[in-house]
Amino acid sequence: MKKKLLVSFGIILLSGSIATGVFAATKYTIFVNGNKIAADVKVINGSTYVPLRAVSEALGANVNLDSKGAINITNQNNSQNNTPTTPSQPTPTQAPTLKQAARTNPANISEVVPFTTTGISEEITGNLSVLKTIRGTEAWKLIYDANKFNSAPKAGYEYILASIKIDIISNLNSDNAVSISPMDFTLVSSNGVDYSRESVVVPDPEIRTQIYAGGSQTGWVAFLVKTDDPSPLIVYGRKYNGSAGLWFKTN
């Protein structure tokens, strides 16, 4: 089973307060940019933890814990900005953001939008585009033909099928694949309300896959939309608080 890699601050200090048997012995070794660093790796309840300070400083960043309990990480390469910031969500990977594909200025159908996601010892670049959308009766026919057990749209709703293309241009960790899933995409109504995700079998090919650097995938994603909603938007890679992400028109 692939273990989830989490990052912990001061895990050595916390170990004394954890019940015996929670930590599992490991033989993990951490390399940052090919250089081995001295860091104590722990496995807690099946998740692998590494000390945040050791990894951050190996990447050239400063780590400080202030009196209010905020952990501030400052990249020394950006020392002109002396104001530490606090991440808006507990994840090492930041959602892609680009002015021309923002919610207030979404990308057009077939427009190719470049993106970059960065995190601790990670940087991925790629392109994303919504090639076309199919809505209403035609979309439902394609979904029904893909699997006759798919549910018909409920009263007042209809399906939208979006053909999405994603290219992974580069990956700092070249041996790692980038996971792409329909769950990465959300349909937002014309008045700014998320639609619930629908679990249906889509026509081949679907978007779900793993892509290595240099690879590309084009596939379908299905959404349910109100029949009187004229211009919903598709967003990819949005943060938990609803900000950032790449936004696309559906017509």
For 111-145, how does the pLDDT look when each residue is reduced to its tens digit (9 = 90+)? Answer: 999 998 876 667 899 999 999 999 999 999 999 99
For β-strands 47-51 and 5-8, DSSP reports them as parallel
Whether domain 99-249 has CATH 2.60.40.1240? yes
Dist CA 29 CA 38 (whole Å): 8
Nearest to 184 by CA among 99, 104, 124, 105: 124
pTM to 2 decimal places: 0.60
Q: Under 8 Å CB-to-CB from 79, ≥6 apart: which residues?
A: none
For 7-40, how does the pLDDT look when each residue is reduced to its tens digit (9 = 90+)? Answer: 444 443 333 333 334 444 456 677 777 667 767 7
Dist CA 16 CA 22 (whole Å): 11
Dist CA 114 CA 129 (whole Å): 9
Question: What is the model's pLDDT at position 75?
Answer: 64
Length of the chain counted residue by residue: 251
Task: Domain ranges for the chain, please list them.
Answer: 5-78, 99-249
Nearest to 124 by CA among 242, 210, 208: 210
Which residues of the chain have a pLDDT value below 50?
1-25, 77-99
Mean pLDDT across the chain, nearest whole number? 78
**Residue that has been written with the tokens 């709703």 in this structure:** 157
Question: What is the model's pLDDT at position 166?
Answer: 96
Question: What is the model's pLDDT at position 250?
Answer: 96
218, two tokens: 């084009």
